[in-house]
Amino acid sequence: MRFLVRLLAPLLILGAASAHADNTETLMQRYTGKVPGASLLVLKDGKPVLRKAYGYANLESGEAATPATHYRLASVSKQFTAAAILLLAQDGKLKLDDSVRHWLPSLPATDQAITLHHLLSHSSGLIDYEDLIPPGTTAQLNDNDVLRMLSTETRSHFAPGTSYRYSNSGYVLLGLIVERASGQRLPDFLRKRIFEPLHMDHTLLREPNGPEPAHRAFGYSEVDGKWTRTDQDLTSATRGDGGIYSSIDDLARWDAALYDDRLLSDASRKLAFAAQNKVTGEDDVDAYGYGWRVHGDVRWHSGESIGFRNVIVRWPKQHVTVILLSNRNDPEPYRTALSIAQPFLGD
């Protein structure tokens, strides 16, 4: 009997692996074929157990998506902006309880009580800059445009520190503060302090007229049953809230760095992943940290911009991470990532 068990064990393992693969292929079916695609990575104990791409990065040129394809991360970028602030705090260049007006004095006096902590945790109450764009605007906004709009805005959603409201405005300001505190341009700071040390060799913060990402995916939206390129809009040139391009392979290196102090100190990582601001009324979100959503033991963040939908979901205690990047407006990938992760999570 024991001999039979030993004989069958490898077959059982192969069968389970095959079932997992079949389940993933079913879940990823919408990304398959001559359609805008996706790149998928599952990490278990620091090793890739599933690494695959689907569909196309560029429909017009016929370039297929690969694990090396770089996607606009959109709001997944916020964790890097938050890390930049934490690095500067480690350097003694700023403090998390600094007033935002200490660094950006053009902001109105009504913002004096807003601190960097409030910006990081979406507890500032700032008005969303998207709601301040003048009618008829056709040129892309940059960070200084956002600062100018906010500098003439005295309204707020609530007093700082009293509630939660997701704020792209806050993260654009944080990107500008990184520049002022470091004396470096934001793309250079991110490259020198985060991307290069972690060998995220092709990851970059894209700017108009700047370097283009390697193996870049272009964004698409389905319109009247046809895929239409929708790669850029008015807010695609702002930086701290969502301008980074990266690949699943580079993000695997980022994920590894979040388990030790090779980049951020233990104290900084605890701050990033702690429940800094309670969130109510949202599925799978109990609180917000610094660039991360908190849900029980899970730390995750999605990223959505015109033509891109992305998610990174981490189960640190079980050492499992799922990264799903896509260059299309639909479907939203979070639930897909959760389903793909289930076989690797155990009890």
pLDDT digits (tens, 9 = 90+) for 330-342: 999 999 999 999 9
* Confidence class for position 1, pLDDT limits 50, 70, 90: low
Q: Which pLDDT does position 22 carry in this prediction?
A: 79
> Helix or strand or coil: residue 249?
helix
- What contacts 112, CB < 8 A, 6 or more positions away? 99, 101
What CATH class does 59-345 carry? alpha beta
Helix axes 2-27, 334-345, angle to 10 degrees: 170
Q: What is the pLDDT of residue 90?
A: 98
Average the pLDDT over 198-223 and give the result.
95
Encode pLDDT of 180-206 as tens digits.
Answer: 999 999 999 999 999 999 999 999 999
pLDDT for 34 beyond 70: yes
Helices then strands, counting H and E runs in the chain, come out as 10, 15
Q: Helices (DSSP H) in the chain: which residue ranges?
A: 2-27, 78-90, 100-103, 116-120, 143-151, 168-182, 186-190, 248-257, 266-273, 334-345
Whole-angstrom Cα distance, residue 334 to residue 342? Answer: 13
Helix (H, G, I), strand (E, B) or coil at 281: coil
Domain ranges of the chain: 59-345
Amino acid type, 309: R
pLDDT-derived band at 209, boundaries 50, 70, 90: confident
What order of strands is seen across the sheet that includes strand 293-295?
A: 47-54, 38-44, 320-326, 308-315, 298-305, 293-295, 287-288, 277-278
Look up the pTM and report it: 0.94
Residue 21, pLDDT score: 74
Mean pLDDT, rounded, of the chain: 94
C-alpha 168/C-alpha 144 separation (Å) is: 14
